[in-house]
């Protein structure tokens, strides 16, 4: 890293992307100030606590705060005063019509224009529709209060929630989209200590790479789930099928795990946004529309299986094991549990839910009628059936003998295929998974 030197970096937004980016940039030596308008959240972070659950993040925060390389503030003016580079990492949620809500991005651009006091590079980390970075640059230019130069660079993130810190240091590529080669080279230099391959391109290409990547991964998930549905009808095992497919290097094994569909902050939002973007240029993205329909249908399959098994779910005590949309995060955005629990409540089932980290995030958005267990044991006790919705290690490692003894009738509906069929057969458990033969027992 000859000639490398740390820079003063400010980050607007402390969600999953902003906070992870800030902590990791501090870890490689930069001086990072994270700016957020949420006073309660900032106070929590100033005390060394992460507002989100993400493996390894809180320890990384505390380490770099103690080293005085990472700080948090609600003061935009002070936060931007010495910045060489400002990252925009605010949320870009989905509007009801499928478009991207850029309100927070616009606010961030206005804050930058109001408070920067020297030449600066603005780096957008948020997922933005093609053309948005040019709009961001124009918004800043129109509102600038000083004679300074602002360059805009798009540096999309490709982090998996639950392993975002790991992914930052072990990524496949860093994409840098810029009009100015000089600005792009500075961002490349910032990231040099990560020792991850860098791909430089123009801004439109960088914006499209992010959307296309997420859409393709979502497509793989919906494809294998459709294969799983066929496997169930012909008596095949989708686990064996996907393994055999994945041995082909052209296909690969990643994102070929059948289940109850994708969720989270990226895939649902980005697939809808890309469909809308395509429609805006008069292209009917039929493939991606089908991917979305398949995923929406897939989330309801476990409830359908349970209704077929019991006839009526009214009065049945149903344990929900896992609420977050994936393990190692507490993110509830577009989680399958939201759809499943809503359906179960409509069927008048008595629901008790457990998740090791997401319960507090789940309570405000789930029906008030459901109960919560403080442990897997509590959730499973005297349950008539259990739905596995998140493949937490704690759930996968839970003794099946305890499942058998705790439940009123040990019937599992496994939406994440957590257990091998051979292991299930060793126990008196009825087991329904995704894309694999059911194991039936003589329960009522």
Whether the pLDDT of residue 441 is over 90: the answer is: no
Q: Identify the CA nearest to 133 among candidates 158, 109, 157.
A: 109
Tokens representing 73?
């503030």
Annotation: binding site for NAD(+):
36, 41, 92, 127, 161, 269, 333
What is the second-level CATH architecture of the domain 210-297? Answer: Orthogonal Bundle (1.10)
pLDDT class for 151, splitting at 50, 70, 90?
A: very high
Q: Identify the CA nearest to 133 among candidates 84, 76, 88, 82.
A: 88
Q: Is 418 a catalytic residue?
A: no
pLDDT, tens digit, 9 for 90 and up, residues 159-211: 998 999 999 999 999 999 999 999 999 999 999 999 999 999 999 999 999 99
Helix axis angle, 103-115 to 132-143, nearest 10°:
40
Class of domain 8-201: alpha beta
pLDDT, tens digit, 9 for 90 and up, residues 326-374: 999 999 999 999 999 999 999 999 999 999 999 999 999 999 999 999 9
What is the second-level CATH architecture of the domain 299-432? Answer: 3-Layer(aba) Sandwich (3.40)
> Edge-to-edge strands of the sheet including 317-321?
371-372, 350-354, 317-321, 385-388, 411-414, 430-432
Annotation: binding site for substrate:
158-161, 210, 255-259, 263, 326
pLDDT class for 4, splitting at 50, 70, 90?
A: confident
Q: Identify the CA nearest to 334 among candidates 368, 277, 296, 307.
A: 296
Q: Where are the domains of the chain?
A: 8-201, 210-297, 299-432
Same fold, 8-201 and 299-432: yes
Residue 135 and residue 103 in contact, taking contact as beta carbons nearer than 8 Å: no
pLDDT class for 2, splitting at 50, 70, 90?
A: low
State residue 88 phi and psi, 5-degree precision: -100, 115
In a 3-state reduction of DSSP, which class is residue 117?
coil
What span, in angstroms and rounded, lies between the C-alpha atoms of 36 and 54?
A: 19
Residue 376 and residue 400 in contact, taking contact as beta carbons nearer than 8 Å: no
Annotation: binding site:
36, 41, 92, 127, 158-161, 210, 255-259, 263, 269, 326, 333
The β-bridge relationship of strands 85-88 and 31-35 is unpaired
Q: Which residues of 11-50 are buried (b: 16+ CB within 10 A; e: fewer)?
A: bbbbbbbbbbbbbbbbbbbbbbbbbbeeeebbeebeeeeb
Q: What is the pTM of this model?
A: 0.93
Options 24, 34, 231, 266, the catalytic residue = 266
* The pLDDT value given to residue 176: 98
């Amino acid at each position: 890293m000859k000639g490398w030197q740390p820079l003063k970096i400010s980050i607007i937004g402390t969600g999953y992307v902003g906070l992870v980016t800030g902590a990791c940039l501090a870890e490689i030596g930069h001086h990072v100030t994270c700016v957020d308008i949420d006073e309660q959240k900032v106070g929590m972070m100033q005390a060394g606590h992460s507002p989100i659950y993400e493996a390894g993040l809180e320890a990384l925060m505390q380490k770099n705060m103690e080293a005085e390389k990472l700080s948090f503030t609600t003061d935009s003016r002070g936060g931007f005063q010495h910045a060489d580079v400002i990252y925009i990492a605010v949320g870009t949620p989905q509007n009801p019509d499928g478009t991207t809500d850029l309100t927070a991005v616009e606010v961030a651009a206005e804050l930058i224009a109001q408070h920067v006091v020297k030449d600066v590079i603005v780096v957008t980390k948020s997922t933005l529709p093609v053309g948005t970075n040019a709009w961001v640059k124009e918004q800043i230019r129109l509102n600038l209060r000083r004679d300074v130069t602002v360059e805009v660079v798009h540096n999309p993130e490709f982090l998996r929630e639950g392993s975002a810190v790991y992914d930052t240091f072990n990524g496949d590529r860093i994409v840098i989209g810029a009009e100015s080669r000089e600005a792009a080279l500075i961002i490349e230099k910032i990231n040099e200590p990560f020792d991850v391959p860098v791909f430089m391109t123009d801004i439109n290409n960088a914006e499209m790479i992010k959307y296309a990547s997420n859409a393709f991964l979502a497509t793989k998930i919906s494809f294998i789930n459709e294969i799983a549905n066929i496997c169930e009808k012909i008596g095949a095992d989708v686990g064996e099928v996907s393994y055999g497919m994945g041995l082909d290097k052209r296909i690969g094994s990643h994102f070929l795990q059948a289940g109850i569909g994708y969720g989270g902050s990226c895939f649902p939002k980005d697939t809808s946004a890309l469909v809308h973007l395509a429609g805006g240029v008069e292209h009917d993205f039929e493939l991606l529309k089908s991917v979305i329909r398949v995923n929406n249908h897939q989330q309801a399959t476990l409830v359908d299986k349970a209704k077929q098994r019991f006839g009526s779910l009214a009065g049945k005590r149903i344990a929900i094991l896992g609420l977050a949309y994936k393990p190692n995060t507490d993110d509830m955005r577009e989680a399958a549990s939201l759809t499943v629990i809503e359906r179960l409540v409509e069927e008048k089932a008595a629901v008790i839910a457990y998740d090791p980290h997401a319960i507090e995030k789940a309570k405000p958005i789930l029906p008030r009628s459901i109960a919560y267990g403080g442990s897997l044991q509590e959730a499973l006790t005297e349950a008539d059936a259990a739905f596995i919705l998140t493949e937490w290690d704690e759930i996968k490692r839970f003794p099946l003998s305890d499942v058998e003894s705790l439940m009123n009738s040990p019937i599992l509906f496994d939406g994440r295929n957590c257990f091998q069929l051979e292991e299930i057969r060793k126990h008196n458990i009825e087991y329904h998974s995704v894309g694999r033969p059911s194991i039936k027992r003589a329960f009522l």
